[in-house]
């Protein structure tokens, strides 16, 4: 019995770690509406096209809060640079919305979407 336990503990531990590291696709999916980064970005793209800067500031807050909820779940299954890239895009987006620059805002929103798609590849 002691031998079985000594073999099973490392095997179970390694299995849990492998599942955690490979579970990025599942972990980045929103578990509730307040974590849906993709939906917030898509709404923001529509608001940016129609130049609704007051709505974009609200969207920016929603994107930032949703992203901060997702980071702890995916931090072990994706590379740190990928998390940093999306965080940097959000910071740039905040600046482009403040300056009301439509082109820059659309570029940053689309870049967030691209980085999101590449997050777990």
Query: Taking Cα atoms as reference points, which of 93, 115, 114 lies closest to residue 47?
Result: 93
Q: How far apart are CA 16 and CA 10, in angstroms?
A: 10
49: pLDDT confidence band, cut at 50, 70 and 90? Answer: very high
What tokens does 55 get? Answer: 């709505």
Question: What's the confidence (pLDDT) of residue 58?
Answer: 95
- Extents of the domains making up the chain: 2-117
pLDDT at 45: 96
Mean pLDDT of the chain: 92
Q: Quick check: 1 pLDDT over 90?
A: no
Residue 66's pLDDT band (boundaries 50, 70, 90)? very high
Of the candidate CATH numbers 1.10.3430, 1.20.120, 1.10.8, 2.60.40, the domain formed by 2-117 belongs to: 1.20.120
Say what percent of the chain tops pLDDT 70: 100
Please report the pLDDT score of residue 23 as a whole number. 79
Per residue in 70-97, pLDDT (tens digit) is 999 888 888 899 999 999 999 999 999 9
Among residues 38, 61, 34, 52, which one has the least CA distance to residue 110? 38
Q: 91, 115 in Cβ contact below 8 A?
A: no
* For residues 44-67, average pLDDT: 95
């Amino acid at each position: 019995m002691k031998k079985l336990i000594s073999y099973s503990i490392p095997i179970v531990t390694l299995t849990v770690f492998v599942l955690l590291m490979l579970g990025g696709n599942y972990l980045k999916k929103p578990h509730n509406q307040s974590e849906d980064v993709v939906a917030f970005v898509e709404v923001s793209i529509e608001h940016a096209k129609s130049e609704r800067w007051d709505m974009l500031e609200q969207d920016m807050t929603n994107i930032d809060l949703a992203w901060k909820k997702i980071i702890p779940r995916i931090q072990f299954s994706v590379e740190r640079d990928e998390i940093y890239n999306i965080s940097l895009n959000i910071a740039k987006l905040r600046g482009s919305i403040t300056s009301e620059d439509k082109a820059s805002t659309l570029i940053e929103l689309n870049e967030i979407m691209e980085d999101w798609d590449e997050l777990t590849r």
